[in-house]
Amino acid sequence: MAVSISLVTPSYNQARFLEETLRSVVSQRDQLHEYFVFDGGSTDGSVELIKKYAGCIDYWESQKDKGQSDAIHRGFQRAAGEVLGWLNSDDVLLPGALAHVRRAFEEHPEWDVVTGYHAAIDGDSKVMALHRTPRETLAKVKKGIIRVCQQTCFFRRRLYEKVGGLNLSLQCVMDHDLWVRMFDAGATWGHVPHYLAGFRWHSESKTMSWDKKYAAERDWMSRTYPQYPLYHGSRPAVLAYRARMLLSGRYPLARVQTWRAAGRKLTDVFGDWAVNGSPCVRGDAR
């Protein structure tokens, strides 16, 4: 049975990266039930980019909001798909990613959440590292090992609603908080052994620039979920995890693939996003 996927992109003053984000989604539009873009009132040209792709976007707006969590939450409230996910306006989906995700949910109705491999990229869209992270399990989380890459994470609406959705008071670790509540709810995590997304590291990203805010919210997480050593896994557990990664061949292969891809444009490694000529795109999309 076909699975419907709803995807939300929260955005604010990320015009430098936004077009790649939009192209990465629009090029796979046939795999989505709906796509929404919630912009927080950008003044850097983002709105013009959104308008270029508006024919491929089911709903978009640009107005002041209460932050990233609020934008994602409002998108999910509007969404009607069976499976939900969000893609930040400086990250990208890799070619074929949504087909892999949709197929995984269709073939495994018992899976509540799906994740996959990801690439770390820099501000110039060049590959920094490739990561072949394995399936997430509650047993590993209890030992302080959680490697969920948000950009590759999709989940069933029923689970999202069951755990209460995003915590709108959080702006940095709202994804970590959501994953932990999903584990607590007994979610079954699936895995796609394919590279699904590019996670961008750059000087303006929250990950790089919100150190104090991250520290405060991580401290809140540790106090709220004392049953999970989220940021201080035991050394034996971490060493055992690394040993499994090594013996399974995941880590060596990722290192070899990183060596071959590092410094190259992401699109040279995984292929470009073909959108030119699409009837829902205005003008040249490059």
Q: What CATH number did the domain enclosing 105 receive?
A: 3.90.550.10
> How confident is the model at residue 207, as a pLDDT?
55
- Give the lowest-confidence range in 130-139, 195-204, 262-271: 195-204
Do the domain assignments include residue 112? yes
Beta-carbon neighbour count of residue 245 at 10 Å? 17
Do the domain assignments include residue 283? no
Do 254 and 130 touch, CB atoms closer than 8 A?
yes
The residue count of the chain comes to 286
What domain range includes position 207? 5-269
User: First and final CA of the chain: distance in angstroms?
Assistant: 35
> How confident is the model at residue 234, as a pLDDT?
77
On average, the pLDDT of the chain sits at 93
User: What are the φ/ψ torsions at residue 19 (nearest 5 degrees)?
Assistant: -65, -40
3-state secondary structure of 123: coil
Is residue 285 predicted with pLDDT exceeding 70?
no
Do the domain assignments include residue 274? no
pLDDT tens for 141-187 read 999 899 999 999 999 999 999 999 999 999 999 999 999 999 999 99
Confidence of residue 1 (pLDDT cuts 50, 70, 90): low
Structure tokens belonging to residue 187: 């979610």
Closest CA to 46 of 76, 89, 87: 89
Query: Where would I find the H helices in 79-210?
Result: 97-107, 138-141, 157-162, 174-184, 206-209
Do the domain assignments include residue 280? no
Instruction: Tell me how far apart the alpha carbons of residues 20 and 247 are, in angstroms, rounded to a whole number.
Output: 36
Count how many domains the chain has.
1
Do the domain assignments include residue 225? yes
Residue listed under structure tokens 């609020």: 70
Is residue 190 predicted with pLDDT exceeding 80?
yes
3-state secondary structure of 127: strand
pTM: 0.94
Element (H, E) at 258: helix 250-261
Indicate the DSSP class of residue 3. P
> How confident is the model at residue 172, as a pLDDT?
92
Confidence of residue 209 (pLDDT cuts 50, 70, 90): low
> How confident is the model at residue 73, as a pLDDT?
96
> How confident is the model at residue 193, as a pLDDT?
97
Structure tokens belonging to residue 23: 């192209």
Q: How many C-alpha atoms does 75 have within 13 Å on its Cβ side?
A: 34
Do the domain assignments include residue 279? no
Per-residue pLDDT, averaged over 4-24, amounts to: 97
Do 248 and 193 touch, CB atoms closer than 8 A?
no
Question: Exposed, middle or buried by CB within 10 Å (0-12, 13-18, 19+), for 83?
Answer: buried
Task: Tell me which long-range contacts 281-286 makes (C-beta under 8 A, separation of at least 24).
Answer: 281/26, 281/52, 281/53, 281/55, 281/56, 282/51, 282/52, 282/53, 282/54, 282/55, 283/52, 285/19, 285/23, 285/26, 285/52, 285/53
Confidence of residue 235 (pLDDT cuts 50, 70, 90): confident
Is residue 286 predicted with pLDDT exceeding 70?
no
Q: Concatenated DSSP letters for 22-83?
A: HHHHHTTGGG-SEEEEEE----SSHHHHHHHTGGG-SEEEE---S-HHHHHHHHHHH---SE
> How confident is the model at residue 96, as a pLDDT?
97
Do the domain assignments include residue 183? yes
Is residue 236 predicted with pLDDT exceeding 90?
no
Do the domain assignments include residue 135? yes
